[in-house]
Structure 1
Amino acid sequence: MTSPRSLLTRPSALALAVTAVITTGQARAADSGYTELDQVVVTESRTAPDTDVLVTQDSLEKKQATDLDDIFSDTPDVAVGGSAPGAQKIYVRGVEDTQLNVSVDGATQAGQIFHHQGRVTVDPELLKQVEVSAGAGEATNGPGALGGAIRFVTKDPEDMLRPGQDVGGTLKTEYYSNTDGYKTSASLYGNLTDNWSAMGTLSRTELGEYKDGNGETQPYTDSELLTGFGKVVGQLTDEQKVSLSYERTEDEAFRPFKAHFPGSWSTPIDQEVLRETITGKYGFTPATTIWWIPS
């Protein structure tokens, strides 16, 4: 018969045996020359707050972007359907732009003419950067952002000026062989005072019918675009900045009623689309003191 004392003694002996094995293992690991590494912390990295993709001015200039498709050509999360400017639609992870919060300098582009037409027409030449927030769930994306948000930010006059330059101008002409089309643009920008600056841009684009990958001309894909843009920026103090901008885009073409369908699928008609955007912004960036931190 086993005594109660022997039952209490056996677990203690087992614990000592396990401890000895663990200690021996640690000693062997130390003798083998293993090196303990510093702790590695993995965190999320984003280009900016609530922004997943940032298309910079440098990227737009290198690609010589002419339309929405060129703007997002290097962005896997964003696809652009349609070829003619009036038919281009933006999709973020498969969600159409009608379910996105699309804005130009903070002004939401909420209007929609017809679900077979594109509703966002932006001249890439005017853009400083494009911010894309892909996917739902962030309150900072604003209302209507089921699939995320796209924020187009236009250039300020100082973005056009060279270092040490007070006044400047640009005159450009481009030719497109596929559509036998062209684009001409003229810009004037400069400092009005030490704290105020202004710029103005006028561009005209005429595109013929384009050829597809098989070399076949697609009917009713020509268009005429006229874009005017003006902006005034004032640095009131080191902490306060105001800006007022106006943009007007006209798109005229003889295209199918359902613009993203081939001509034989929809009756061509004369179309004229006009978009005007007026934006006033006030920014305050405290230099030293943060008055309130939300918990």
Structure 2
Amino acid sequence: MKKLRWRLLVSVCVLNGAYFSTGAAAQDSVDASEELDPVVVYSFNNDRFAVAADRNTSIYVSRQAIEAAEMGTLRDVFAEDASVTVGGGIPIAQKIFVNGVDALNLNMTIEGAMQNNRAFHHVTANAIDPALLRAVRVDAGIAAADSGPNALGGSIAFQLIDALDLLEDGETMGGKATLSFDTNGNTFSQALTGFAEHNGFDILAFAKNAKGQDYTSGGDWEIPGTGANLQTGLLKGGYTSDTGHRFEVSGMMLKDKEERPHRANIGSLTRKPNDTIRLYDTLRKSFSFRYEHLEPTDLYDPEVVLGFSENNIDVPVPYGSKGTSNTLNGKVANTFHFGEDIGFTTGFDFYRKTANYEDPSSDLEEVATNFGGFGQVRWTPLSALKLSAGLRLDHQRFEGLGDFDTSVTGLSGNGSASYEVLEGLKLKAGYATVFGGIALEDNYVFNPSWDYSGIKPSRSHNVTTGFEFERSGFLLSGEVFRTDISDARSGDNNVDVLTEGFNLAAGYKWSSGTAKITYSNTRVEVDGDAADTYIAQDFAAPLGQVIAFNISHRLEEYDLTVGGDVQAALDYDTGSGDSNRTIDGYAVVGLFAEYQPEQIDGLKLRFEANNIFDEDYSDRGTYGGDYQTVNTLKEPGRSFSLTANYKF
């Protein structure tokens, strides 16, 4: 890891998150004015606010989880925490839910470039290759004002690998080659990374290809349209001046062009047996420019971001459909440090979102443009007490079909507090009300006959309260949450969406290993009634009770790390509408062994046995499990994989 002099590094034990990170040790407090010695950077973008009260609900995905998911999917990235669910067995269908809320209702960024380019409800708006990731932070429910606009259910921020992450001290260039093979679907993946640094300039180039056949579910049932055919690329460069000015540019793409299930997130519909597979041609792009100062002063601690992202979802059969959605966004902010215990972040941001549907007989488009200003105060009045509060003002112009044009304006506010009542025991709570504006619709359901006259801007109310106890390697935490979204957009109408429940976590970290179990219990309502997967689609998911257990242990004398995980969900009856069906529970067990021989520097071998009991199941976040007429998209059955990494 390349060592840089940072004025502030925070790497912190947070609820359901960084407790088991393999990075730098956690700190309960940081002197924001003290210049530290050079340190190894493991934290989330040198997150200066990681110990702030508004991070009470934040989940920092551990480096261990990110590295383990390198040749996997987003579901593997979030496998350590039951409160984040990823449904869908193939990458283009994987949708993220945070405390039950669909990520479409969160502010999501990659390197600061806003995502959530909504297109076609049968595919995801949030695909990303885990091999590109260096850090992930999820702000569940409560998002600070400077996290960005429209954070109805919180926010998710992804950061991508760069050369400075991979270079060791004294190195100026290097590379990494990765090969992986999975027996279920005979999927062969190859990735190559090159990186270099010279006179303050750094650059990284990454390319990956994954190709395979249709996988089989538990019981050896072949699932048509699930063969891997994914190409990923990343080019990222930066420059750091002698005085600490840091500029970064990045561009990434993911391409998946392959025959998929007729409705990519559904195995099949019993009433339409002839709808088997068809071609999906998908391309996702994200570009960003970032500026920050790594040696800020009390009055100059800036952040500048300019981003662009785009999804192209083309489905030639049967209508020659082409869906394009994109977002151009920017942000300028500065943090003023008024002494050691108080800081104020203020600035403005904007976005322009476009959603277009085109076929030989149609060309339909919606556009939303937003300008916002924000301020967030973070204060530690006592060593045991942390406070945070913020406001946003957003003005949005919405242009709909048929020359419809309107503007809406709204305020958002948040407040959070944490108090250490005893050594290691913290009580914490937060509230946020968020102006969501008028969301762009799924462009594959655009209807020229829509009447926008009654459409309203959405607003959410988020409440969370809980505790966290951490001492001598033990962790115990719990929280109760509620997200109430009023006037969420559905076509040319509005609906009210509610998710509520609680999360629990327990764990222990010893000198050579960790063990952790998390439990999440979530229920969903739409317009006051219990919701099934169809009614809640694009808003939330009826998840019920979900459990995640992870354990690992390092055998130093053998250069070996071994461990495993259990992903489980209990039976759940949505009790809603025409479905009125209990979604079956499941328990899936996996084991792994990772070997890093001391004799061969840079080599790492990882063996995994996944779903070892060949459970026939669909992840709880997968659509349609509560409908008799839906054959859900099954997850892979038993598989064995071997991954070889060689860094040179």
TM-score when normalising by structure 1? 0.79
Relative distance call for 1:247 and 1:137 in structure 2 (3 A) is closer
Q: 105-114 or 265-274, which moves further after superposition?
A: 265-274
Residue 159 of structure 1 aligns to a residue in which SS? helix
Partner of 2:426: none
Residue 96 in 1 paired to residue 102 in 2? yes
Counterparts of 1:2-151 in structure 2, within 5 Å, are 48=50, 49=52, 50-51=54-55, 52-62=58-68, 64=70, 66-136=72-142, 138-151=144-157
- Code of the residue aligned with 2:285 in structure 1: it is E
Partner of 2:172: 166
Unaligned runs of 5+ in 2: 1-12, 19-49, 301-335, 339-343, 345-376, 378-648
Partner of 1:276: 285
- Code of the residue aligned with 2:259 in structure 1: it is F
CA–CA distance in 2 between the matches of 1:45 and 1:165? 33
- Code of the residue aligned with 1:128 in structure 2: it is R
Q: Deviations over 1:11-49 (max 9, x none)?
A: xxxxxxxxxxxxxxxxxxxxxxxxxxxxxxxxx966625
Contact kept in structure 2, 1:223 and 1:254, CA below 8 Å: no
Q: Deviations over 1:228-268 (max 9, x none)?
A: 10011100243310001111111111112321111455452
Residue 218 of structure 2 aligns to a residue in which SS? coil
Relative distance call for 1:246 and 1:64 in structure 2 (3 A) is closer
Partner of 1:186: 192
- Code of the residue aligned with 2:203 in structure 1: it is A
Residue 89 of structure 2 aligns to a residue in which SS? coil
Relative distance call for 1:71 and 1:285 in structure 2 (3 A) is same
User: How far apart are residue 285 of structure 1 and its match?
Assistant: 4.1
CA–CA distance in 1 between the matches of 2:163 and 2:149? 30
Relative distance call for 1:251 and 1:63 in structure 2 (3 A) is closer
- The correspondence for 1:214, drawn from 219, 223, 232, is 219
Residue 201 in 1 paired to residue 206 in 2? yes
From the two aligned structures, give the one with the greater helix fraction: 1
User: How far apart are residue 160 of structure 1 and its match?
Assistant: 1.3
CA–CA distance in 2 between the matches of 1:62 and 1:137? 28
Contact kept in structure 2, 1:56 and 1:128, CA below 8 Å: no
User: How far apart are residue 217 of structure 1 and its match?
Assistant: 1.5
Contact kept in structure 2, 1:219 and 1:263, CA below 8 Å: no
Contact kept in structure 1, 2:204 and 2:236, CA below 8 Å: yes
- Code of the residue aligned with 1:283 in structure 2: it is E
Residue 279 of structure 1 aligns to a residue in which SS? strand
Q: Deviations over 1:148-199 (max 9, x none)?
A: 11111001201111222111011211001112111101111011x2211101
Residue 252 in 1 paired to residue 257 in 2? yes
Q: Deviations over 1:44-78 (max 9, x none)?
A: 96662544111133432245551100000002220
CA–CA distance in 2 between the matches of 1:225 and 1:168? 25
Residue 225 in 1 paired to residue 230 in 2? yes
Give the number of aligned pairs. Answer: 251
Residue 284 of structure 2 aligns to a residue in which SS? strand
Partner of 1:13: none
Contact kept in structure 1, 2:65 and 2:76, CA below 8 Å: no
Relative distance call for 1:59 and 1:262 in structure 2 (3 A) is closer
Partner of 1:152: 158
TM-score when normalising by structure 2? 0.37
Contact kept in structure 1, 2:71 and 2:180, CA below 8 Å: no
Choose between structure 1 and 2 for higher RCO, CA contacts under 8 A separated by at least 6 residues: 2
Partner of 2:405: none
What fraction of aligned residue pairs are identical, expressed as a percent? Answer: 27
CA–CA distance in 2 between the matches of 1:82 and 1:221? 11
Residue 262 of structure 1 aligns to a residue in which SS? strand
Unaligned runs of 5+ in 1: 1-43
Partner of 1:262: 267
- Code of the residue aligned with 1:138 in structure 2: it is A
From the two aligned structures, give the one with the greater strand fraction: 2
- Code of the residue aligned with 1:135 in structure 2: it is G
